[in-house]
């Protein structure tokens, strides 16, 4: 039997598809406009983001002091100063031992370069001293020819460092104000919004704050795992400066990708100049194994549990954030994805029909 399409149903389906497409297009345009505004305001938004992350990290200590009767300003000031001193102490813990062994490390680097030159001069490379000299002369000539680009890159680097310092100072000030006045923000926001927004927006903001706190706690736990395992590996191999390197690994865990690479590079370099290439390769293997376990198992599992996101969603969010905005995108991708999930779940709660419970069945007693 020949089947023909119903004209009325076809027109209805096409109109529905066109209406849905138009709605999606409007949503995409609004999203693009919002992202453009965020990009334009990024010099202001980025310190706010860092301040919020620092505030969520230090809020438990502030809450403890406030519950003991400390005034909000005093509690926030104490926690902020403690955080600053702790950060400076961490830097000193890393820098002072390295500076104390600077002569040994320099001698080790020179010896390592000399060993590398001797190895390259033998089979199978058979690179002679004259070839090395020619390569160095060529490199020096190339550097001299590109001195202008080097100066411009240096100026850009100095500008980036200055912007980083300004951002850090703003973030610390904002962290203090978030710790001091944070609990008063939601009641104030409730009074400013009309109608149903006075209930919906504070509720979503409270849930997003809890999600952000879960993200910071899970990230700190992941950094602790990295520091413990890598520190144990360095201690077993016999690499010096184990404690500073473990602290550096913990701090670097809060900066995705680049933080792990930097901490691993420092550990391998110190192992190379102090223990030789064999131990350096062992340290490199330990760091690669720990980083693979952290990136593919520990971090997705912990963040998926604490944030309510699947491990695959966490991996995809980090990948997408890194491709769109580099290191910054990788840093904020997971909390942004978690907040989007919070907003989506709240919308589903509000748009869903209430579940009707079945009425109890009446029973009659038999005579």
pLDDT (0 to 100) of residue 201: 82
CA dihedral over 206, 208, 211, 215, signed as positive or negative: negative
pLDDT (0 to 100) of residue 293: 78
Contact 56, 209 (CB under 8 A): yes
Q: How far apart are the C-alpha atoms of 295 and 257, rounded to whole Å?
A: 9
10-residue mean pLDDT series, the chain (367 residues) = 74 90 92 85 82 85 89 91 86 71 63 64 63 62 58 57 79 88 80 81 83 79 84 86 80 67 79 78 86 72 67 75 74 80 85 65 51
Provide the phi-psi class of 304: left if phi over 0, else alpha when psi is between -120 and 50, else beta: alpha
Contact 283, 268 (CB under 8 A): yes
DSSP 346: H
Q: How far apart are the C-alpha atoms of 213 and 354, rounded to whole Å?
A: 30
**243 Cβ contact partners less than 8 Å away, ≥ 6 residues apart:** 93, 231
DSSP 356: P
Q: How far apart are the C-alpha atoms of 153 and 155, rounded to whole Å?
A: 5
Q: How far apart are the C-alpha atoms of 210 and 187, rounded to whole Å?
A: 17
Q: How far apart are the C-alpha atoms of 167 and 54, rounded to whole Å?
A: 13
DSSP 3-state of 195: coil
pLDDT (0 to 100) of residue 366: 46
The structure's pTM equals 0.65
């Amino acid at each position: 039997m020949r089947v023909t399409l119903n004209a009325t149903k076809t027109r209805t389906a096409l109109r529905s598809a066109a209406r849905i497409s138009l709605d999606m297009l409007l949503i995409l345009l609004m999203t693009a406009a919002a992202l453009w505004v965020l990009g334009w305001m990024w010099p202001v938004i980025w310190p706010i983001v860092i301040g919020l992350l620092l505030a969520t990290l230090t809020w438990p200590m502030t809450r403890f002091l406030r519950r003991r009767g400390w005034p909000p300003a005093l509690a926030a000031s104490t926690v902020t100063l403690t955080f600053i001193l702790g950060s400076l102490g961490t830097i000193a813990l890393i820098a002072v031992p390295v500076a104390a062994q600077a002569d040994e490390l320099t001698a080790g680097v020179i010896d390592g370069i000399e060993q590398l030159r001797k190895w390259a001069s033998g089979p199978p490379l058979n690179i002679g001293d004259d070839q090395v000299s020619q390569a160095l002369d060529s490199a020096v000539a190339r550097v001299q020819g590109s001195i202008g680009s080097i100066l411009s890159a240096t100026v850009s680097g100095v500008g980036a460092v200055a912007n980083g310092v300004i951002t850090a100072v703003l973030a610390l000030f904002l962290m203090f104000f978030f710790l001091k006045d944070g609990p008063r923000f939601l009641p104030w926001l409730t009074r400013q919004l009309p109608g149903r927004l006075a209930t919906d927006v504070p509720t979503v903001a409270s849930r997003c704050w809890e999600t952000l706190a879960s993200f910071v706690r899970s990230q700190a736990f992941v950094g602790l795992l990295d520091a413990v395992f890598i520190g144990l590996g360095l201690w077993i191999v016999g690499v010096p400066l184990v404690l500073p390197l473990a602290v550096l690994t913990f701090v670097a865990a809060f900066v995705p990708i680049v933080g792990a690479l930097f901490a691993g590079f420092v550990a391998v370099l110190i192992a190379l100049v102090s223990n030789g290439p064999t131990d350096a390769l062992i340290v490199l293997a330990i760091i690669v194994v720990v980083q693979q376990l952290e990136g593919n198992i520990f971090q997705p599992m912990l963040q998926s549990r604490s944030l309510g996101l699947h491990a695959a969603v966490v991996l995809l969010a980090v990948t997408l954030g890194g491709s769109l905005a580099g290191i910054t995108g990788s840093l904020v991708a997971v909390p942004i994805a978690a907040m989007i999930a919070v907003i989506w779940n709240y919308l589903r709660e509000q748009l869903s029909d209430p579940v009707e419970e079945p009425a109890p069945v009446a029973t009659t007693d038999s005579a």
